[in-house]
Structures are given as structure tokens and as C-alpha cells.
């Protein structure tokens, strides 16, 4: 199930013509009813005030798919802040990372790729190969990195979340909720503003291959600045 987080909401844009000046003139605090969405769960919050604008089944456990990579990025950012790794570290691309299926950043087996490049490949292109390579660089193995992800989830109060991998590939014990996704999104924005620009970067090039950010809303609305699609 695809969930999507949009951070720093300055304008609630639901559909053309849905919000009209007359509504705001009558009651500036009025929030229109959300439209019917083909989603099992969603949560829309004003980042500045914390006010919930729209929600549906926000505490239901669902497969987060690639939204998992919000926590993958957060765990890597924490390791950088703790000076255990660095942005320019040459990260070895092992066989596990190279063979991981799904979306790719097109790194090659045996290459040593700067950690900052892998972060961009994961955040912008949602590369599973980059995710696994980062996990192995931080913790030695993806399973050990998943333990670290769960530790940070607990610290952030993500009580309905369980991680089993760094990519979001399906696993019955890998789940989260819209409410918990809000917590990890807020943590990234609050603790690591210096890396937030990557979430709105529209393309990424590696090995002479340029790929677009998977968040199509970046082209549809200039107020959108992230974060991750599932």
C-alpha cells in the first residue's frame, strides 16, 4: 500500500475549485471535507502548527513500501552526526546490494561509491541497491541495520512500526502507520535540515544515467518539497 507524506504544508490543495475565496471570507479557520481518496490510510498535517487537516485510518498498520527509506535515511544521518561515518566515505557495493531487486541507482558490483551519492540515489531515485549498501556500511549487515532502525523507531515513539529491511521490500513483519510516518518525517525535518534539500531535488545522475525523482508532485505544485513516495 502506497502512503505519501507531504511535509511543511503551507497550502492545502485538494482539487481545482475546491477551495474558494468565499469559504475563507466566511470562516478563515474552516477546513473543507477531504475528497474521496483511493487509499487505506492517510494523514495530512500542518507542519508548523501540528494541526490535523485530514485523516483516515492513520493508526492502521500497513506495508510502507519505499517510505521505509525515511527511516533508512534517518539512521544514516544519525551515524553521520555521531561521526561514525562520513559523507565522503567510499562505500563498497557488495553482492547483496547489487542483487537487490526493485528500483535501482545503477551502482555496480565492487564499486566504491561516495556515501553522499548513495544517499541521493536512495532519496531521489529510491534505489534499493543504494539502501542495502548504506545499511551494510553503517551496521555490517542489513539485518543488523534493521535492528538499529527499530531502536530509533522506539526512541521516536513509533509504537506501531516494525522494520525488517532497509528497502521496504515486502515482509509480513514489516509495517508502519500513517501516524508513525509523520513522526519520522518530522524527526528528519527537525534534526537534519541540512539534508532536506535532497527530497525536492528533481533528478539524480550516476554512471551516466539520469533518473527523475519518483515524487511526481514536485512538478505539479511548487509548494511541495518532499518527502517520499511508497
Whole-number pLDDT of residue 28: 55
The three-state secondary structure class of 228 is: coil
pLDDT winner (highest mean) among 20-24, 29-33, 36-40, 208-212: 208-212
For residue 201 the three cell numbers come to 531535488
DSSP category for residue 170: -
Whole-number pLDDT of residue 80: 98
Whole-number pLDDT of residue 225: 87
For residue 119 the three cell numbers come to 544517499
- The CA distance from 165 to 139, in Å, is 12
Q: For the chain, which residues make up each domain, given as ranges?
A: 65-214
Element (H, E) at 153: helix 142-155
Q: The domain 65-214: what is its CATH number?
A: 3.40.710.10
Q: How many helices (H) and strands (E) does the chain have?
A: 8, 6
CB of 40 within 8 A of CB of 63? no
**pLDDT tens digit string along 9-33?**
333 333 333 333 334 444 556 667 7
pLDDT range class, residue 211, cuts 50, 70, 90: confident
* β-bridge partners, 211: 204
- The CA distance from 127 to 130, in Å, is 5
**pLDDT tens digit string along 94-141?**
999 999 999 999 999 999 999 999 999 999 999 999 999 999 999 999
pLDDT range class, residue 47, cuts 50, 70, 90: confident
Integer CA distances (angstroms), 73 to 33, 55, 135, 152, 170, in order: 34, 25, 10, 12, 19
Residues with a catalytic annotation lie at: 66, 69, 126
pTM of the model: 0.84
Q: What are phi and psi of 209, to 5 degrees?
A: -115, 120
pLDDT over 90 (residue 153): yes
DSSP category for residue 62: B
Whole-number pLDDT of residue 24: 43
For residue 65 the three cell numbers come to 513500501
- For the chain, strand residue ranges (E) read 42-45, 52-56, 90-92, 112-114, 203-206, 209-212
Whole-number pLDDT of residue 48: 87
Amino acid at each position: 500500500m502506497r502512503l505519501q507524506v507531504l511535509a511543511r504544508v503551507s497550502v492545502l490543495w485538494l482539487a481545482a475549485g475546491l477551495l474558494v475565496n468565499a469559504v475563507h471570507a466566511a470562516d478563515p479557520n474552516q477546513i473543507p471535507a477531504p475528497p474521496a481518496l483511493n487509499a487505506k490510510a492517510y494523514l495530512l498535517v500542518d507542519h508548523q502548527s501540528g494541526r490535523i487537516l485530514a485523516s483516515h485510518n492513520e493508526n492502521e498498520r500497513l506495508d510502507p513500501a519505499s517510505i521505509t527509506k525515511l527511516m533508512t535515511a534517518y539512521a544514516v544521518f544519525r551515524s553521520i552526526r555521531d561521526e561514525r561515518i562520513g559523507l565522503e566515505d567510499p562505500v563498497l557495493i557488495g553482492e547483496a546490494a547489487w542483487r537487490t531487486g526493485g528500483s535501482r541507482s545503477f551502482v555496480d558490483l565492487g564499486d566504491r561509491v561516495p556515501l553522499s551519492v548513495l544517499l541521493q540515489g536512495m532519496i531521489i531515485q529510491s534505489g534499493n541497491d543504494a539502501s542495502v549498501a548504506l545499511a551494510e556500511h553503517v551496521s555490517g549487515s542489513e539485518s543488523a541495520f534493521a535492528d538499529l532502525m527499530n531502536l530509533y523507531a522506539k526512541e521516536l515513539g513509533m509504537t506501531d512500526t516494525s522494520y525488517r529491511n532497509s528497502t521496504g521490500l515486502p515482509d509480513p513483519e514489516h509495517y508502519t502507520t500513517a501516524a508513525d510516518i509523520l513522526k519520522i518525517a518530522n524527526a528528519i525535518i527537525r534534526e537534519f535540515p541540512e539534508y532536506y534539500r535532497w527530497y525536492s531535488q528533481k533528478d539524480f545522475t550516476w554512471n551516466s544515467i539520469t533518473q527523475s525523482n519518483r515524487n511526481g508532485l514536485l512538478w505539479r505544485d511548487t509548494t511541495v518539497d518532499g518527502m517520499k513516495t511508497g
